[in-house]
Structure 1
Amino acid sequence: MLPNPQPYFAKLVDPRRETRNKLHALQDIVMITLCATLCGHDDWVGIEDFAHENEAWLREFLPLANGIPSHDTPSDVIGRLERKAFADAFARWMQDSLPGLDARHIALDGKTLRGSRQNGSAAHLMSAFATEARLMLAQHKVPGKANEITALPDLMKPVDLRRALIGIDTISCQ
């Protein structure tokens, strides 16, 4: 069972200006998006539909003072969150979901994101994945012209991999 994600994301800074049009709390938007994504929804309309279908359940732990936000609100807000802060909060949540990594298999691998090519180069991410628990522990963008080898130390910083069984492809054998 995953721990309550709310404390992990509570310190995220809301990227929106304070106006009377700011109707939905950042915590509500983040939690709706997380819950819907964990349930398999992968687009903003699907996330909004999930929230409407599960509104009674969501109200058990979210205030939802102004109801369910339209799909445009989470799309805009999540897209403007500080990526590193969100990734760090997510990584802490995932790491705390496992009691320990002793003798657990952690797969380290890099992937180029399909459809991300701009100006001749594509986004490339390194990830640490707990295979047994099926949890992504950390993810790190490989800087511009660097390769997986140079990105590994940054990927492994937030994850305590002592006593874990690491699996990695042959690029790291250099």
Structure 2
Amino acid sequence: MSTAPRPYAGGPASLPSACSAALAHVRAAGINFLALDFDLTILSIHTGGAWPSSPASLSSHVRPLFYHLISAALAAGMSVAVVTFSPQVPVIREVLALLFPQHASRIPIRGGDRSWSYEGGGSAAGKQAHMASAVEELGEGGGGGDITRASTLLIDDDANNISVALAEGVRAIWLNPKDSDRLLENITDMI
């Protein structure tokens, strides 16, 4: 995947600049943790939890928007995690290592592979347990301060996961997979 700036369909600014500007709004609102779904969110496709090819070929389906958003978040010292129901955590880990070789180890992945558990008292609905477990791994002080529900932003294509997050006091934005270019505008409007 090329790291060269691409024009952003949402306006005259380059995509990296637009992502940095959106993250400035996010950080000003006290958000220090991005929890990102994988299939149909970071990726432009849904693997069904059964990607048959190489991680390198899957990395070609990463939306440029998320490549730049994650890069900008990591550069700004924010915490980032992938929260997914996909059981293909090793494949996701390799995709992240290909895209963010210096930072992939800083991105916890919570998937449907039963390699983790959450024993806390919070909700297990939607992606709540995924996010809470990732925060436990990141530890206190991750992302420039304590990570709380109010300092978390979930981005997901599943409206149910968004509804659960909002009901639990977590900020959340639904990504329309057919109109992902509106995400940065939605982030700015939310804050």
TM-score by length of structure 1 reads: 0.25
- In terms of fraction of residues, the more helix-rich structure is 2
- In terms of fraction of residues, the more strand-rich structure is 1
Structure number with higher relative contact order (C-alpha < 8 Å, ≥ 6 residues apart): 2
TM-score by length of structure 2 reads: 0.23
